[in-house]
Every structure is written in structure tokens, then in C-alpha cells.
Amino acid sequence: MGLFKLYTKSLNLAPSVNLNELCILSERLSGSDIRDICQSVRLQVIGELFETGEANKKETQPRPISMKDFKRKLEERKPSVTLDMIKMYNKWFEGFKAL
């Protein structure tokens, strides 16, 4: 959950966003994948302002990012870590007992 806390701390999140659930949904995603998803969701919400023409108004702010936004991006994103990679890492870790 630490990575989601880090990468969402400056984002305007809706109350529906559950970081614990995001952790479960993001199993097998790397830290870089999680960062990219958070950035992608943010850019999507900002992009909506330009699509609607609202970006021209000085007082307009992006809407809060919802859990639905994150889920949509998580469905689109393929994990960059395969099960075979995890098995190899665990085997290496057991052999050397080090990171």
C-alpha cells in the first residue's frame, strides 16, 4: 500500500478510492507499473477538461479521481512481472537469503 500512498499523495482522490483494494488488484505489478497507472489516471482526468473545453476556464479544476478510474486502468495494464520471474526471484532469494 506504500507505493499507492506515495504516488497518490498529491492527487485529488474521491472518497471511494480504497488503497488496500488497489493493492490487491495490482498483484504482480511492479513499482514502476503502479507509478505509471497513477500518472495515467491523473492525465486521463486532466484530459477530460480539454475534451470538454473546460480547460479554458481559469477556475475549473479536474474532478476527483475515483476507484472506477483506477480499476479501468488496471484492467488495461498488463503486469510487467511474470509468474516465472517471481518463481526465479524466490529461488534466488532462498539460495542467497539476500535482496
Q: What is the pLDDT of residues 24-37, one digit of tens each?
A: 999 889 899 999 99
Q: Check: CB of residue 54 under 8 Å from CB of residue 60.
A: yes
Mean pLDDT of 61-80: 93
Q: Is 22 left (phi over 0), alpha (psi -120 to 50) or beta?
A: alpha
Higher per-residue confidence, 99 vs 38: 38
Domain boundaries, the chain: 2-96
Find out if CATH 1.10.8.60 is the number for domain 2-96: yes
Higher per-residue confidence, 34 vs 94: 34
Q: Please, where are the H alpha helices in the chain?
A: 2-8, 19-25, 31-52, 67-76, 83-96
Question: Using CA atoms, how far apart are residues 49 and 32, in angstroms rounded to an integer?
Answer: 26
- List of residues 6+ apart from 32 with CB closer than 8 A: 80
Three-state DSSP class for residue 65 = strand
pTM for the structure as a whole? 0.81
Question: Using CA atoms, how far apart are residues 38 and 57, in angstroms rounded to an integer?
Answer: 25
Mean pLDDT of 4-28: 95
Q: Check: CB of residue 27 under 8 Å from CB of residue 4.
A: no
